[in-house]
C-alpha cells in the first residue's frame, strides 16, 4: 500500500503545477510541446514510485508515428502510462467525456487535442470519430484500447470497431502492441501496486489504407488475431514478474 499512498500523495500536486505551467505556455505560444514534456516527466515519476520497469521489444516497428493508430490489449491502469513512456510518442486518444470534467487533467487533455466521446449518443460518437480521423490526417498518433475496458481475466476480449474505422478513414498505419504484466502488478478492482516489470511488444504494422469501410470487420479480425497470437507466444519474457516492494 505504500507505493499507492506515495502516488496518491505526490502525483496530484505535480499534475496541478505541471498543468498550470503547461497550459499557460500553450496559451502564450500555441504549442502543446511543453504540456507533453511535462506529461512524460510526470508519468516517469509515477512509474518510478510504483516500482514499474518496462521491457520493450520491437520498438523499430513503430517507425514514423504520424498518422498512426496504436492498438493495444488492456488489462491494467498501468497500460496507458507504460505505453506513453515506452513508446515515447505524444499520443492522443478518444476518451469518455466525463474525464474532461476532472480538475487539471481535463483541461490538459482538451488542450492537447484529446477527443471527448459520449458513448450513449451515436451522433456525437460519430462526430468524435470524424474529428479523430481528421487529427490523424494532420499527423497525430492515437492510442486505442479496442476492448473498451480492462480485461479482469487477462483474456483478450472482443474489439470495438471505432479505432479501426478512423484508421481506414485517415488511411493510417495500424500498429498492434501487446502489453503483459500490468494485471499482476496492478489488478483491476483495486489500487494496490506491486513493483515489477511490464513487457511491451510492438508487432508488425498494418496499412489501413488497404481496407475500405466495408472491410472493417476483416481489419478488426486481422489485428485481433495478431495480438491474440502474440499473447499466446510462449517465449520467456519479464512481463508480470513482481519483485519485492
Residue 114 predicted with pLDDT over 90: yes
The pTM of the whole model exceeds 0.95? no
Render pLDDT for 77-111 as a digit per residue (tens, 0 to 9). Answer: 999 999 999 999 999 999 999 999 999 999 999 99
Portion of the chain with pLDDT greater than 90, in percent: 81
Helical spans, DSSP H, in 77-121: 79-87, 105-112
Query: Which pLDDT tens digit goes with each residue over 50-59?
Result: 999 999 999 9
The CA–CA distances, whole Å, from 116 to 49, 82, 129, 164, 165 equal: 29, 22, 10, 17, 17
User: Which has the closest alpha carbon to 178: 95, 109, 75, 88?
Assistant: 75
**Whole-number Å distance between alpha carbons of 29 and 149:** 36
The mean-pLDDT minimum among 133-147, 148-162, 198-212, 223-237 falls in 223-237
Break the chain into its structural domains and give their ranges: 52-242
The Cα-based distances of 218 to 131, 146, 157, 206 in angstroms read 23, 15, 16, 12
* Residue 180: closest CA among 207, 155, 163, 206: 155
**CB contact at 8 A, 7 and 49:** yes
* Contact in structure between 136 and 170 (CB atoms under 8 Å): yes
What would the grid cell of residue 32 be? Answer: 502543446
Chosen CATH of 52-242 out of 3.40.1130.10, 3.40.50.2000, 3.10.180.10, 3.40.50.720: 3.40.1130.10
Amino acid at each position: 500500500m505504500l507505493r499507492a499512498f506515495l502516488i496518491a500523495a505526490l502525483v496530484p500536486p505535480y499534475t496541478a503545477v505541471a498543468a498550470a505551467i503547461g497550459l499557460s505556455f500553450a496559451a502564450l505560444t500555441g504549442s502543446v510541446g511543453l504540456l507533453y514534456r511535462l506529461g512524460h516527466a510526470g508519468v516517469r515519476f509515477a512509474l518510478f514510485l510504483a516500482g514499474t520497469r518496462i521491457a520493450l521489444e520491437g520498438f523499430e516497428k513503430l517507425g514514423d508515428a504520424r498518422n498512426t493508430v496504436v492498438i493495444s490489449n488492456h488489462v491494467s491502469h498501468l497500460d496507458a502510462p507504460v505505453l506513453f513512456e515506452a513508446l515515447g510518442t505524444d499520443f492522443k486518444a478518444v476518451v469518455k467525456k466525463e474525464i474532461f470534467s476532472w480538475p487539471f487533467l481535463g483541461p490538459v487533455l482538451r488542450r492537447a487535442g484529446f477527443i471527448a466521446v459520449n458513448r450513449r449518443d451515436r451522433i456525437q460518437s460519430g462526430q468524435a470519430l470524424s474529428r479523430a480521423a481528421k487529427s490523424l490526417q494532420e499527423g497525430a498518433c492515437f492510442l486505442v484500447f479496442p476492448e473498451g475496458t480492462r480485461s479482469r481475466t487477462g483474456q483478450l476480449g472482443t474489439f470495438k470497431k471505432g479505432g479501426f474505422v478512423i484508421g481506414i478513414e485517415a488511411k493510417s498505419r495500424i500498429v498492434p502492441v501487446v502489453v503483459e504484466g500490468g494485471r499482476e502488478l496492478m489488478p483491476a478492482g483495486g489500487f494496490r501496486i506491486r513493483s515489477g516489470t511490464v513487457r511491451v511488444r510492438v508487432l508488425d504494422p498494418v496499412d489501413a489504407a488497404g481496407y475500405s469501410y466495408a472491410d472493417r470487420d476483416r481489419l478488426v479480425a486481422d489485428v485481433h488475431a495478431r495480438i491474440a497470437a502474440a499473447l499466446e507466444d510462449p517465449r520467456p519474457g519479464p512481463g508480470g514478474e513482481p519483485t519485492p516492494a
